[in-house]
Amino acid sequence: MKEINTQKANHVNKNKSNHQQRPVVKKTQHAKKSVVTKIKHSNKPAIKKTQQANKPVVKKIQHEKKPVEDTAQIKSAEEVERPKVRYITIDSEDAGQRIDNFLLRTLKGVPKSHLYRLMRKGEIRVNKKRIKPVYKLAINDEVRIAPIRVSEQKDAVSTGLSIVANLEKQILFEDDRLIVINKPSGMAVHGGSGLSFGLIEALRALRPEARMLELVHRLDRDTSGCLLVAKKRSALRSLHEQFRDKNVQKFYHALVKGHWPTKLTRVTAALKKNDLKSGERVVVVDNQNGKESETRFRVLERYRGATLVRAFPVTGRTHQIRVHCQTSGHCIAMDAKYGHEEFDEQMKSKGLKRLFLHAASIEFTHPVTEQRMKIEAPLEASLERLLSKLVKE
């Protein structure tokens, strides 16, 4: 009985142990599954959160860097471009000229009307006092110029352009006071009226170190030859005075139509400028309302159907030599405004492509040495070739 009971007891205990182990195994597996499931489930959101958290940080850093750099660049650009008050002490070179002319030369790109307004408001002063545009500067005057933003030249003249580079070869005389240059035909003396630049702008590009370069006088766009350019204000004043006193002599060579009479040495027809609606300027003879004009002529060479003459303009009216030749019945070859169509066609057939008017020489007194100077400009090669094709009489 004891044994049976022991067996029964063992059997019962065994059953109990088996019964107790099964739920434990199930619980363990279930717990493990739950744990694994929970770990897997908890890892995924963690990764997602990390990725989501990282992305905004990167974006935020990039977004914060750009404005800092742009702001710094904008500030530095503003500091560079911000205009400042300028003080200029007048020396002997600038003394004697009107303040408005001085400002126009000094503040290139600022409209004249704007400069006048600044003077009226007292933004521009001389020796701490308000001044009028007609005020003439004196030595040691102190000019105060308020901050003015000067417009930048977008189309700067490039010294790499062949027409600009070739000007260096056309310089006939140069010192620290002036330049005499053989201006090419077809090049205006200054820019404007649709031209991006002219001879004076090109010279400034070639001589960037020059404090000033100003035209002393002018030549028509189609006329070639001697042209004076001042490098100092004192030289400009001296040469202008010589022009007013008729102490400057300019001699031109022109090929004209027909047989120029030997006795025709002086033409005095009065000239008047007319501005057409198209904007073109034409000069006509008007002895009643025109300005007194005088040109002296001398025959240099006679050709079949043409004459090479020397012209000396006593006065300096616009298109003076060209109109005086026209009114005398001997138009200059290839003159688009005052020429003779049939004569021009003849010269064109021989290779002439430009106006045959050349400022061959100029005489003046040097502003410093007071030496009388005569500078000569050789004829362009195309003009020499044309003359060689003509039959001399």
Residue 322 tokens read as: 């060209």
Nearest to 164 by CA among 204, 208, 214: 204
What is the rounded distance in angstroms from the CA atom of residue 76 to the CA atom of residue 74?
6
Q: Which of 220, 222, 335, 344 is catalytic?
A: 220
Q: Do the strands 249-257 and 357-365 form a parallel or antiparallel pair, or are they unpaired?
A: antiparallel
Residue 254, strand partner residues: 309, 357
CA atoms within 13 A on the CB side of 94: 21
Place of tokens 């060479």: 301
Report the SS3 class of residue 62. helix
Residue 44 tokens read as: 């995924």
Instruction: For residue 176, indicate whether it is catalytic.
Output: no
Residue 337 tokens read as: 């405004």
Residue 154 tokens read as: 């977008």
Place of tokens 């363990």: 28
Beta strands, E only, the chain:
86-89, 124-126, 129-130, 142-145, 171-174, 178-183, 214-215, 224-230, 249-257, 266-267, 271-275, 281-285, 295-303, 306-313, 357-365, 372-376
What is the rounded distance in angstroms from the CA atom of residue 135 to the CA atom of residue 138?
9
In angstroms, how far is the first alpha carbon of the chain from the final one?
172
What is the rounded distance in angstroms from the CA atom of residue 308 to the CA atom of residue 298?
9
Please, what sign has the CA dihedral across residues 254, 257, 260, 266? negative
Please, what sign has the CA dihedral across residues 353, 276, 183, 303? positive
Active site positions, annotated: 220
